[in-house]
Amino acid sequence: MRGHISAHAVCTAIREDIVSGALVPGSRLIEDILAARYGVSRVPVREALRTLQSEGFVTTRHHAGACVAEPTEQEAADLLEIRALLEPLGAARAAVRRSTAHLKVLRGLVRLGRERSGHGHPADLRQLDGWFHETLAQAAGSPSLTAQLTQLRRKIEWMYTVEPSARVAESWDEHGALLDAVARGDAGRARSLMAAHIESALPAHRLRRPVAAGVREAKRPVNTARARH
């Protein structure tokens, strides 16, 4: 039923549509239209927009109301710089605080990444890379740091495209070295390896081209079972 879908699920759906470009920068976010788009009432939409505004995906304009934010090039560049500072910290903490379960997941991801680096689909490899970094952030044992790193990854995905790299195999070797340092509890090495890994990936990032304001074809109603957490 419409009223029983959580604001969290609606927030996830709207955020995904912003990141994917289905809701483009500058477009108005009208509660009634969004409620119909996702098959929900206006209440969770209103709550979701407040959350997305606090995250920087949504802004409020005078006389226009809520709109998809239009980040500047400087704001986009700042995100990469902030990530370069925070993610090595997360790797260092993961080396000290990781659990056996975290290590098991990380080992599985590295194994898959190495197996598919020579012939896997780029989208699948990007997804595996995202899962590796997300799991490593969770292994840091700091909910506030994990939340910040998750939000950074979403915003970077929103503002940048990552060109297919000829160094996919090398990237997964770097993941493997990171995992070894984390498994040994070597915080200093984990920090330095992550810093080098991020720096080596920077040249593949390209700012997305601006697109005309508007809303693309509406997607499916929100399915809470599919909404990612």
Tell me what pLDDT residue 185 has: 98
Total count of domains within the chain: 2
Looking at 68, 94, 125, which one is the last position of a domain?
Answer: 68
Looking at 68, 88, 110, which one is the last position of a domain?
Answer: 68
Q: Does 77 lie in the same domain as 36?
A: no
Tell me what pLDDT residue 217 has: 43
Is 221 part of any domain?
no
Is 223 part of any domain?
no
Strands 205-207 and 160-162: antiparallel
Is 212 part of any domain?
no
SS3 content of the chain, % helix, strand, coil (to 5): 65, 5, 25
* Rounded Cα–Cα distance for residues 118 and 101 (Å): 27
CA distances from 3 to 34, 35, 41, 71, 151 (A): 14, 10, 6, 33, 27
Q: Does 41 lie in the same domain as 93?
A: no
Tell me what pLDDT residue 228 has: 41
Is 220 part of any domain?
no
Query: Consecutive sets of 10 residues in the chain, 229 residues long: mean pLDDT of each?
Result: 72 95 94 95 95 94 90 93 97 97 98 87 86 96 94 93 79 96 98 96 84 44 43
Tell me what pLDDT residue 161 has: 87
Burial 170-183 (b: 16+ CB within 10 A, else e): ebbebbbbbbebbb
CATH number at residue 56: 1.10.10.10
Q: Does 177 lie in the same domain as 93?
A: yes
Structural domain for 127, as ranges: 73-207
Is 40 part of any domain?
yes
Six token digits for residue 71: 């980040």
Is 219 part of any domain?
no
